[in-house]
Homo-oligomer: A and B are copies of this chain.
Amino acid sequence: MGGVILYGKNVADAMENELRDDAAALARRGVTPTLAIIRIGERGGDMAYERGAMKRCDLIGVNVRRFVLPPDVLESELLGVTDKINRDDEIHGCLIFRPLPKGINESRICNSLAPEKDVDGITEESLYGVFTGFGHGYPPCTAQACIEILTHYGIDIAGKKAVVIGRSLVIGKPVAMMLLGKNATVTICHSKTEDPAEQCRAADIVVVAAGRAGLADARFINPGGVVIDVGVNVDDNGHICGDVRKEDAERAKAYSPVPGGVGAVTTSVLVKHVIDAARKAQPDTPGRP
């Protein structure tokens, strides 16, 4: 017994071919799509993500410019960096690693970024777009990566019952709104939900983004359903693991694991947004903001 494993790499590979063509088309017009990365300090997770993003950008033909700041950076200095990025016509998108150091108003920094360069859904305008289903912004990359996996593997969303565990602005709420936008019936569960397992067992699609290793065990698994694990945790042996117990999830019809699932798609989505932003920034592009 055991279902299909929804590997992220297959999705990323498929996206890569298309994105490379898109980047090449821009290059022929003299434009190199460019991502700015703002990183503060040297947290392991940030560094790993940055390496992955840089590698992906390099493969596809997207430039990266890093802005690395010390952990004691002032809010005013950070605002100076986003201002510089906003004014630079050769930068098309910007990723900011969070959380920001204490004492810095995160919301102010996020919203200082020009909405058209917000390729990871952190500004007010982007989140408004995710909530309402209109607007020009980009959703958070991780939330969109879940949708890309479902789409790539031909999993129907419309009319299906979807359950999202977690209600963060980075993943839970946005992915719930995106599933709703694709006509799923969506239930949002969280730490105060009495019977998350019961909800999940009755669902066609489950997205688990609680950030708690092993939260979802056999009781959460519908053998006819699809499970997308989005949790990133470190287990007792120091290994990366998701929120879903792998041996249980493998009993579902299809399962996207951690590691190897959503994470592998997130940087492809990021690159996709940068290329799209670069295209929209060209003066002869219809629908330019």
Contacts and interface: CB of A to CB of B under 8 A. Distances in A.
Interface string A116-151: 000000001101101110110000000000000000
A184 to B, nearest CB: 8
B185 A194 contact: yes
B167 A132 contact: no
A111 to B, nearest CB: 10
Contact of A190 (B124, B127, B128, B185): B185
A130 B183 CA distance: 21
Interface residues of A, number: 29
A10 interface: no
A199 interface: yes
Given A167-B180, A187-B185, A187-B187, A192 B158 contact: yes
Contacts of A173: 131-132, 177
A130 B194 CA distance: 24
Interface of A: 107, 124-125, 127-128, 130-132, 134-135, 158-159, 161, 167, 169, 173, 177, 180, 183, 185-190, 192-194, 199
